[in-house]
């Protein structure tokens, strides 16, 4: 497929969202910068992805390359905070992002880390149009930034290979998520860049489950992420702020 | 040359880390300024260390059980007294539920070093550069490069400073240390004695400092053998260190009070100034400190090497788990997890050790009475005693898998 530098064709991408995150591109890999929060939750979310993939594909979590031989796609990869670990875990990885600035930073960082990742500034729809398919698709903190959900989920379903696994995470639309993510993290603590989220666009687990079912995918797990003083970020049943989930093709 | 970590310092702690990582398939490059083979020669280091039971379990888990079985002297009991007072605090491994495990082992440092080197040589994931001088350490956002004096360039996502108390890696990184000197010097030697020690470690507290008699395995020339760690006041140090073997033996005999029968010195004595130091942080960009490079305490409770081995167990777990998640091993989140895990534990041990030393150094009948009643009190309060026992075994805090004797 073409590797042009901007997202093209009919897409679910919101241009304003893409531009917003593109401006943060240079700061992605700075653990003390605007992405500090993502760096801190990274071990937790990689653990969720790794464990779910090991269950799905019958791999061992004690293996250093549990994803060896799998084709993986990281949707909304940013500068590659999750994409690079997927490559280290042995997967053959592609990362796509709506912001060409992010893709440029991701490419140069992966090169410096001597990791082979196929980064493209494109949309899920354009990639689905090429007929490409992946065993493992990750889509973390992206759903809430998307314009046309139905088209977005349909494209993901097309991209998921038979027997494949989708792992997603997104904030819930609850009073608590508004208080935590918008008022707390964006306005008061400034631990997330202000304007990063539009609370109205957040989806509840039920809404995501229904939307994925519409696209032919069944949700197989949902777990909430919360922050505990002293312990940090943990997974559990409390889904009112942010949650993770997995989905497979409906039988 | 590329590896998962570069360890500067191939002493007991640095080499134990390399082997712990090797057991999990992580690669390390160890650099040491000394010729490590020369340090294996008998007589290089007359010192012995107490290895608490939890760190001993780790050594077994990473394949070093043989040296403990062959040369480690089990410590089955610890007897703590204020001088030669009959009131004492007595820890006995055999009265505990898990009776099989001793409280720890006494092992000559040299023999542990021999075992570590013997294991490191054939280890697939360990490369040793020694003697080799570090010419430059470059730590950058995307990785670290250590250049040796001969021009060899080593690359890794993380550098680990295991280069001891006066760590030049730590100094090079500009990490400051809080430190102070105790007005004490430790005299270290070995004695042969007439009666068996029965695997009991004795800790006798004198106002000038603690006097420890630590059981060692017998050798043909000395079937009953113990290590002596004797803290004396600095002003007395020149006098004692000038004594000949017989005169020193007589002084030691006075402190022991004759319960081991006749004694004789069976190794040259050496002396060490005692101090405390703690690095203000354990991490910098792509750098972590472990062992004496991070902390050093008074040897009163025999916890110095154990703290280093606990660093090893925690760091190995953090690195192995991070590697299995595909994380950059030098990423700040990885470094922060190790620091948070070890800093609290090390601060506690350091604080308690310092307090113990100060308490027992107080002169006069009042403090002596407090100490004696305190020891007798701990002796009678079961939960408090169990807590001290766990501390001696190295079983307090959030234990890494290796200290349970399990691989990560």
- Rounded Cα–Cα distance for residues B212 and B392 (Å): 14
* Distance from the B346 Cα atom to the nearest Cα atom in chain A, whole angstroms: 18
**Is the CB of A50 inside 8 Å of chain B's CB atoms?**
yes
- Rounded Cα–Cα distance for residues B257 and B254 (Å): 5
Chain B residue whose CA is closest to A108: B142
Structurally, how many domains does chain B consist of? 1
Tell me the pLDDT tens digit for each residue of A43-73.
Answer: 999 999 999 999 999 999 999 999 999 999 9
**Is the CB of B133 inside 8 Å of chain A's CB atoms?**
no
Statement: residue B262 has pLDDT above 60: yes
Please judge whether B332 and A39 are an interchain contact, meaning their C-beta atoms are less than 8 angstroms apart: yes
Chain A residue whose CA is closest to B324: A64
> Does residue B195 sit within a domain?
no
Lowest mean pLDDT among A206-220, B147-161, B228-242, B348-362: B348-362
**Is the CB of B325 inside 8 Å of chain A's CB atoms?**
yes
> Does residue B221 sit within a domain?
no
**Residue A42 with chain B: CB contacts under 8 Å:** 327, 331, 333
Please judge whether B324 and A61 are an interchain contact, meaning their C-beta atoms are less than 8 angstroms apart: yes
Residue with tokens 């073997």: B245
Tokens of B379: 């002796």
- The dihedral over CA atoms of B52, B54, B60, B65, expressed in degrees to the nearest 10, equals 20
Please judge whether B333 and A39 are an interchain contact, meaning their C-beta atoms are less than 8 angstroms apart: yes
Tell me the pLDDT tens digit for each residue of B266-309.
Answer: 888 888 888 888 999 999 999 999 999 999 887 766 678 999 99
> Does residue B354 sit within a domain?
yes
The whole-number pLDDT of residue B100 equals: 61
> Does residue B151 sit within a domain?
yes
Per-position b or e across B366-387, b if 16+ CB within 10 A of its CB: ebbeebbeebeebbeeeeebee
Q: What's chain A's average pLDDT?
A: 89
Domains and CATH numbers, chain A: 6-170+203-249 (3.40.50.150)
The whole-number pLDDT of residue A3 equals: 41
> Does residue B262 sit within a domain?
no
Please judge whether B141 and A43 are an interchain contact, meaning their C-beta atoms are less than 8 angstroms apart: no
Statement: residue A198 has pLDDT above 60: yes
> Does residue B349 sit within a domain?
yes
* Distance from the B26 Cα atom to the nearest Cα atom in chain A, whole angstroms: 9
The whole-number pLDDT of residue A129 equals: 96
Range of the domain at B387: 5-179+275-396
> Does residue B213 sit within a domain?
no
Which of B326, B328, B330 would you mutate first to test chain A, the one with the most A CBs within 10 A?
B326
B325 vs A39, A50, A112: nearest CB: A50
Which B residues in the span 293-322 are in contact with A, Cβ-Cβ below 8 Å? 322
Tell me the pLDDT tens digit for each residue of B15-45.
Answer: 999 999 999 999 999 999 988 877 777 665 6
Chain B residue whose CA is closest to A65: B324
Please judge whether A63 and B324 are an interchain contact, meaning their C-beta atoms are less than 8 angstroms apart: yes
Please judge whether B325 and A31 are an interchain contact, meaning their C-beta atoms are less than 8 angstroms apart: no
> Does residue B47 sit within a domain?
yes
Please judge whether A43 and B332 are an interchain contact, meaning their C-beta atoms are less than 8 angstroms apart: no
The whole-number pLDDT of residue A195 equals: 74
The whole-number pLDDT of residue B319 equals: 98
The whole-number pLDDT of residue B379 equals: 65
Tell me the pLDDT tens digit for each residue of B168-205.
Answer: 999 999 999 998 888 889 898 999 999 999 999 998 88
The whole-number pLDDT of residue A183 equals: 74
- Rounded Cα–Cα distance for residues B75 and B215 (Å): 7
> Residues of A marked as binding for S-adenosyl-L-methionine?
45, 76, 97, 140
Per-position b or e across A136-174, b if 16+ CB within 10 A of its CB: bbbbbbbbbbbeebebbbbbbbbbbbeebbbbbbbbbbe
Which whole number is the average pLDDT over A146-151? Answer: 92
Long-range contacts of A57-60 (CB under 8 A, 24+ apart): A57/A135, A57/A136, A57/A165
Please judge whether A62 and B326 are an interchain contact, meaning their C-beta atoms are less than 8 angstroms apart: no
Q: How many CA atoms lie within 13 A of B124 on its CB side?
A: 4
**Is the CB of A87 inside 8 Å of chain B's CB atoms?**
yes
> Burial of B407 by CB count in 10 Å (0-12 exposed, 13-18 middle, 19+ buried)?
middle
Please answer whether residues A25 and A15 qualify as being in contact, where contact means their C-beta atoms are separated by less than 8 angstroms: no
Please judge whether B332 and A31 are an interchain contact, meaning their C-beta atoms are less than 8 angstroms apart: yes
CATH number at residue B38: 3.50.50.60
The whole-number pLDDT of residue B249 equals: 93
Q: B69 vs A29, A69, B74, B85, CA distance in Å?
A: 49, 44, 9, 34
């Amino acid at each position: 497929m073409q590797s042009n530098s901007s997202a093209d064709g009919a897409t679910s991408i919101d241009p304003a969202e893409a531009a917003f995150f593109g401006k943060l591109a240079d700061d992605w890999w700075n653990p003390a910068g605007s992405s500090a929060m993502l760096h801190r939750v990274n071990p937790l979310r990689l653990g969720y992805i790794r464990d779910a993939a090991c269950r799905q594909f019958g791999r061992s979590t004690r293996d250093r390359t549990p994803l060896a031989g799998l084709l993986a796609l990281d949707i909304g990869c940013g500068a590659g905070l999750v994409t690079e670990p997927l490559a280290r875990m042995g997967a053959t990885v592609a990362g796509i992002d709506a912001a060409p600035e992010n893709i440029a930073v991701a490419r140069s960082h992966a090169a410096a880390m001597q990791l082979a990742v196929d980064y493209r500034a494109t949309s899920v729809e354009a990639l689905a149009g090429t007929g490409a398919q992946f065993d493992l698709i990750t889509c973390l903190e992206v759903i809430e930034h998307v314009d046309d959900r139905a088209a977005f989920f349909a494209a993901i379903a097309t991209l998921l290979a038979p027997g494949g696994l989708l792992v997603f995470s997104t904030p819930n639309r609850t009073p608590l998520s508004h208080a935590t993510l918008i008022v707390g993290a964006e306005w008061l603590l400034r631990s997330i860049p202000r304007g990063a989220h539009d609370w109205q666009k957040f989806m509840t687990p039920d809404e995501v489950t229904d939307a994925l079912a519409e696209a032919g995918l069944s949700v197989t797990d949902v777990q909430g992420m919360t922050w505990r003083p002293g312990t940090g970020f943990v997974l559990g049943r409390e889904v009112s702020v942010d949650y993770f989930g997995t989905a497979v093709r409906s039988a | 040359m590329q590896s998962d970590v570069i360890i500067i310092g191939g002493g007991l702690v640095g080499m134990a880390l390399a082997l712990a990582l090797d057991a999990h398939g992580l690669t390390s490059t160890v650099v040491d300024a000394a010729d490590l083979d020369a340090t294996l020669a008998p007589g290089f280091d007359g010192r012995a260390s107490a290895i608490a039971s939890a760190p001993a379990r780790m050594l077994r888990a990473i394949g070093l059980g043989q040296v403990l079985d062959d040369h480690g002297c089990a410590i089955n009991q610890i007897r703590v007294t204020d001088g030669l007072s009959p009131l004492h605090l007595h820890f006995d491994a055999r009265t505990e539920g898990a009776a099989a495990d001793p409280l720890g082992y006494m092992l000559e440092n040299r023999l542990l070093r021999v075992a570590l080197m013997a294991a490191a040589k054939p280890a697939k994931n360990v490369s040793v550069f020694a003697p080799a001088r570090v010419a430059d350490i470059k730590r950058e956002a995307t990785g670290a490069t250590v250049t040796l004096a001969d021009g060899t360039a080593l690359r890794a996502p993380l550098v680990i400073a295991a280069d001891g108390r006066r760590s030049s890696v730590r100094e090079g990184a500009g990490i400051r240390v809080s430190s102070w000197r105790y007005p004490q010097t430790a005299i270290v030697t070995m004695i042969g004695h007439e009666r068996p020690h029965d695997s009991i470690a004795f800790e006798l507290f004198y106002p000038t400092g603690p006097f420890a008699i630590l059981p060692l395995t017998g050798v043909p020339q000395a079937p009953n053998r113990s290590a002596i760690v004797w803290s004396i006041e600095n002003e007395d140090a020149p006098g004692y260190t000038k004594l000949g073997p017989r005169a020193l033996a007589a002084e030691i005999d006075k402190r022991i009070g004759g319960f081991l029968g006749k004694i004789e010195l069976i190794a040259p004595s050496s002396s060490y100034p005692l101090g405390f130091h703690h690095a203000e942080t354990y991490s910098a960009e792509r750098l972590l400190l472990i062992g004496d490079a991070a902390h050093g305490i008074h040897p009163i409770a025999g916890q110095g090497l154990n703290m280093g081995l606990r660093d090893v167990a925690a760091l190995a777990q953090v690195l192995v788990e991070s590697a299995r998640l595909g994380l950059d091993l030098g990423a700040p989140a990885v470094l922060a997890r190790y620091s948070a895990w070890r800093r609290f534990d090390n601060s506690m041990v350091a604080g308690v050790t310092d307090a113990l030393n100060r308490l027992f150094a107080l002169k006069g009948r009042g403090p002596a009475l407090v100490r004696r009643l305190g020891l007798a009190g701990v002796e009678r309060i079961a939960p408090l005693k169990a807590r001290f026992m766990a501390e001696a075994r190295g079983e307090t805090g959030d234990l890494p898998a290796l200290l349970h004797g399990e691989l990560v």
